[in-house]
Amino acid sequence: MPHPPLKPPAPPGAAFAPDSLVLNRKLPLWYQVSQSLRASILGRTADATLRLPTEEQLAAHYGVSVLTMRQALKELETEGLITRHRRRGTFIEPRARRVSPVRLLGSVDAIVAQQSGERTVVLGHGPSPVPGDVAEHFPDCPEVMGYRRLRCDEDTGEPTNWAQNWVRPEVAAGLDPTDLERWPMTKVLRDRVGVPIARITDTVEARLADPATAELLGVPLLSPILYYTGVTYDEDGQVVDVAQIRYRGDRFSFSVTLEAH
């Protein structure tokens, strides 16, 4: 059976191809377009071309007017993500960082490694009534211990994500909050508290930044974020910790590794 013809390589100087976007008419169009193009730029591959399509081509791609597209590009230019040159075109700034993956791998050690390598500030901790969105995991607990942490890039100090952990009270009794400034919660529970961790169930979904997240991470209100939930079980199948982490959507992507055996 003959193979289909190979797709010809892109010609020299081909323009960068942004992701598609389904517009929400309840939000400003220029803002949605700028955020979509922003995510495409920061999530580009290492070998992607730096030349953007023309304003007219981008406007047609997103289904908006040239005026709306121009406003969106001005926003990205202000952020330093693109540069615009008369008669030459619009280009992605080479120093614009590509996103880091949120990797869901197959062991507790891998999760600990994923969470390490960032500077962490403990924002607060204390007992709390069980929040409604995690109540199913703590059916026998009238309250849990809550911990709030902000993680920042080690080099730039820029906030990258913030975490909220809900820990079973008897487990939290053996936890020193200052340890959370040095190590991820998973490592502290396992190695410092001595919890026999059996498994962690991960969920990642797309959300929009709420006011608290926008303020902590320094992103626009309603901008895209990755919302991670990690439910940690001990050897008896009991939930000991529920982590809720909000990642900046312009700094992280979602990656899963599946082993054959």
At 229 the pLDDT is 92
**Count of C-beta atoms within a 10 Å radius of residue 98:** 14
Q: Are residues 127 and 252 in the same domain?
A: yes
Q: What is the pLDDT of residues 56-70, one digit of tens each?
A: 999 999 999 999 999
Q: Are residues 243 and 135 in the same domain?
A: yes
At 177 the pLDDT is 95
Q: Are residues 65 and 121 in the same domain?
A: no
Q: Are residues 90 and 127 in the same domain?
A: no
Kindly give the pairing relationship between strand 159-167 and strand 239-248: antiparallel
At 92 the pLDDT is 92
Using the 3D structure, point to which of 51, 83, 98 is the last residue of a domain. Answer: 98
Q: Are residues 117 and 189 in the same domain?
A: yes
Q: What is the pLDDT of residues 98-113, one digit of tens each?
A: 656 565 555 555 555 5
At 252 the pLDDT is 74
At 10 the pLDDT is 39
Q: Are residues 116 and 237 in the same domain?
A: yes
At 80 the pLDDT is 86
- As a whole number of angstroms, the distance between CA 148 and CA 123 comes to 5
Q: Are residues 94 and 143 in the same domain?
A: no
**Count of C-beta atoms within a 10 Å radius of residue 39:** 19
User: Residue 248 is part of a domain; what is its CATH number?
Assistant: 3.40.1410.10
16 is a domain residue: yes
At 196 the pLDDT is 95
Using the 3D structure, point to which of 78, 98, 118 is the last residue of a domain. Answer: 98
**Residue ranges in the chain modelled with pLDDT below 70:** 1-13, 97-118, 253-261
- Burial class for 161, CB neighbours closer than 10 Å (0-12, 13-18, 19+): buried
Q: Are residues 210 and 118 in the same domain?
A: yes
113 is a domain residue: yes
For the chain, how many structural domains are there in total? 2
Compute the C-alpha angle 183/187/189, nearest 5°: 115
Compute the C-alpha angle 11/17/18, nearest 5°: 170
161 lies in which domain range? 100-256
User: Residue 12 is part of a domain; what is its CATH number?
Assistant: 1.10.10.10
261 is a domain residue: no
